[in-house]
Structure 1
Amino acid sequence: MNNDNQLKTAVGEWSRRTVPPEVCALAEAARQRHGGVGAVLFYGSCMRCGRFDEGIVDLYLLVDDYHRAFDSRLQALLNRLLPPNVFYLEVAHGGKTLRAKYAVLTLDDFARGARQWFHSYIWGRFAQPSGLVYARDGESAARVQEALADAVCSFLRRALPQAPERFTIRELWIRGLSLSYRCELRSENPAATARLFDAAPDYYEAVTHGSLQAMGLTMEALPNDGPPRYHLRISPWERKRNSLAWRLRQTQGKTLSVARLLKGLLTFENGVDYILWKIERHSGIRVESSPALSRFPLISLCVTFWRLFRKGAFR
């Protein structure tokens, strides 16, 4: 088995785990809304906690083409210009109401995002564990697995120069995940990013070793009585260049996040309430909705975003 296959095997063993029936029901309902769906991925907080009747399940629909996926030309254009489009879904299942938020992206864009995008929007999310709920055929499944492996490599390539000189794998991922979240509206604290790692430590250990081998990098294991510590030779110039890239990524990411939230007004039912709920969930800062927000959402949201910025919601 070559190094690249070791990484894909580590990613694949997790993504092929049995998916709960609640998630399958939501994925099928979302898939019926759109044409040309090649795969559906499941990720996020509901995957980590295993509760599907209280939160909102996060799904990604990977499609062949935006025009096939949407009846609306406007939706297809928006998804192409500022991917992804995000939608809300409710499904009755087992006497309960299940809820999902799903994003639509072409498989080509997903693969490019995992491998090439400067911003961490795709590789920051999908370097973390995810589940393959649906794949149309073996070729689609293989392309998704390859993109997930690319996401891990992209993440670690950008996170390693920010790690301490001597680090554990846990410290490496906590640092990288913290940086990635700072590139969006939400800025998770170290305790929250530590919980992400602690939810699946075996996964992170396996994909880290597989990814570094695939990239031809060797971590030097250091003598230590506790968790294994490592050292990777990275020049001071590379660390400075990497720090600058993360600062640029944060500026770009927050700008794109605001644009995507505004675009969500066109795709979400009760879009204003969703946007305010999402900001409160990730920043802890609450702004009440009002009739004005419903009547003039774009103007009112500009004012609201400014107030939230001054309160520190986007830092």
Structure 2
Amino acid sequence: MTTKADQELTTFILDEWKRPVPDAVLQAAQAVADKLGDCVSGILFYGSCLRTGDIEEKVLDFYVIVDSYKEAYEKRWLAIANQVCPPNVFYHEMEVAGMTVRSKYAVLSRDDFAFRVRPECLNVSVWARFCQPCILLLARDEMTKQSIAGDIAQAIKTMIGNLLELIPGATNSRDLWVEAFEATYAAELRSERRGKGLEIYLLDQDRYDALTALAEEAMGIVPGPIPPIKQPPRTERLVPRLKWFARRCNGKVVSFLRLVKAAMTFDGGIDYLAWKIKRHSGVEITVTDRMRRHPILSGISLFWGLKRKGAFK
């Protein structure tokens, strides 16, 4: 049952979506939607370009929400790949007013998106990503918009709930979000330097502080005086730690499989990955013509090369 607190959290998300975006972003989103056709329910714009407002010489991040994978693709193997190991990731670029606008877009079905923001989903990638700022573009209709806003609100509750299981003493907003970001980054193959969680929190501190209060109210967490710090029984700490260990194991394996799959679906994927790793971690990978000709083997060898150089955590 939807409570008043849930509605307030969803309204917060809907208000965020009123933020204007550059025309180049809208044009890029429309071009991506045109490639997939009428099955597109909406496109979520997120990531560093949204956080900073800087899109020149950057790659826009989109999540395209579709009705079904079968409707989204002409090639059956792409639909199967998206169903077995979601999402599929693609690259797109276009010229807008003399500027090259580059986009990376992931494709996820409505059903998969709704599941992957919930606590039952072991993989962190969707609920961790969409508790951060995003904007829904090209929503099919108002009902779709409300539904996806509810999913984003659920992602926020999932992030906070899972972190509080691990660290019940994270009573202030800063500690909660920084620890949450660091924990979820550790559950993926990430190239970000340590301290990225604090950086993300500080970029939108007022937002995260407001969200904490709204989400905790929606979750039925009543604020009160900070309890004295005491060591919980070992058995109480074991289950949350095992859950996060399972998330880390799942995240590493799934991220590896997505990396290999992206070598097939992502035009210029090897070059993009090498560029992104260097940008975030300083680790440089030399991409050869042979790697471009054999994307699957290259994806695997690139993974191990990056792992040895310390690009992944």
TM-score, normalized by length of structure 1? 0.91
SS in 2 for 1:29: helix
What residue number does 2:16 align with? 14
Trace 1:247-258 onto structure 2 (pairs within 5 A).
247-258=245-256
Q: In structure 1, how many angstroms separate the alpha carbons of the residues matched to 2:148 and 2:75?
A: 26
TM-superposed deviation, 1:8: 1.0
Contact 2:170-2:176 at 8 Å conserved across structures: no
What residue number does 2:160 align with? 156
1:76 aligns with one of 68, 79, 84: 79
- For each residue in 1:262-294, what CA deviation from the matched residue of structure 2 results, as whole angstroms up to 9, or x when unmatched? 111221112221232333334432220112212
TM-superposed deviation, 1:194: 1.2
Q: Which runs of 5+ in 1 are unaligned?
A: 223-229
What residue number does 2:309 align with? 311
TM-superposed deviation, 1:234: 10
Q: In structure 1, how many angstroms separate the alpha carbons of the residues matched to 2:43 and 2:230?
A: 38
Q: Aligned pair 1:107/2:105, yes or no?
A: no
SS in 2 for 1:51: coil
What residue number does 1:288 align with? 286
Q: Aligned pair 1:172/2:176, yes or no?
A: yes
TM-superposed deviation, 1:233: 10
Letter in 2 for 1:273: D
2:124 aligns with one of 120, 143, 148: 120
Q: CA RMSD in A?
A: 2.2
TM-superposed deviation, 1:261: 1.1
- Of 289-298 and 205-214, the range deviating more from structure 2: 289-298
Contact 2:274-2:284 at 8 Å conserved across structures: yes
Contact 2:13-2:149 at 8 Å conserved across structures: yes
Q: In structure 1, how many angstroms separate the alpha carbons of the residues matched to 2:267 and 2:12?
A: 38
- For each residue in 1:5-63, what CA deviation from the matched residue of structure 2 results, as whole angstroms up to 9, or x when unmatched? 12112222212322221211111010000021011111000001101122101011101
Q: Aligned pair 1:98/2:101, yes or no?
A: yes
What residue number does 1:226 align with? none
Q: In structure 2, how many angstroms separate the alpha carbons of the residues matched to 1:64 and 1:287?
A: 38
2:51 aligns with one of 16, 33, 48: 48
TM-superposed deviation, 1:190: 4.4
Contact 2:93-2:102 at 8 Å conserved across structures: yes
- For each residue in 1:129-173, what CA deviation from the matched residue of structure 2 results, as whole angstroms up to 9, or x when unmatched? 111112110111011001000000110011123447364201110
Q: In structure 2, how many angstroms separate the alpha carbons of the residues matched to 1:231 and 1:159?
A: 19
Q: In structure 2, how many angstroms separate the alpha carbons of the residues matched to 1:174 and 1:200?
A: 12
What is the aligned residue count? 308
TM-superposed deviation, 1:238: 4.0
Trace 1:201-216 onto structure 2 (pairs within 5 A).
201-216=205-220
Percent identity over the alignment is 37
CA separation of 1:241 and 1:157: change in aligned 2, threshold 3 A:
same
Letter in 2 for 1:256: V
Contact 2:65-2:113 at 8 Å conserved across structures: yes
What residue number does 1:29 align with? 31
Q: In structure 2, how many angstroms separate the alpha carbons of the residues matched to 1:62 and 1:300?
A: 29
Contact 2:49-2:55 at 8 Å conserved across structures: yes
- For each residue in 1:82-125, what CA deviation from the matched residue of structure 2 results, as whole angstroms up to 9, or x when unmatched? 11111111121122111111111111111110113111111000
- For each residue in 1:160-190, what CA deviation from the matched residue of structure 2 results, as whole angstroms up to 9, or x when unmatched? 2344736420111000001111111115344
Contact 1:19-1:133 at 8 Å conserved across structures: no
SS in 1 for 2:307: helix
Contact 1:15-1:131 at 8 Å conserved across structures: yes
What residue number does 2:269 align with? 271
TM-score, normalized by length of structure 2? 0.91
What residue number does 1:227 align with? none
- For each residue in 1:220-259, what CA deviation from the matched residue of structure 2 results, as whole angstroms up to 9, or x when unmatched? 245xxxxxxx889995444332122112211110111111
CA separation of 1:20 and 1:296: change in aligned 2, threshold 3 A:
closer
Q: In structure 1, how many angstroms separate the alpha carbons of the residues matched to 2:259 and 2:210?
A: 35
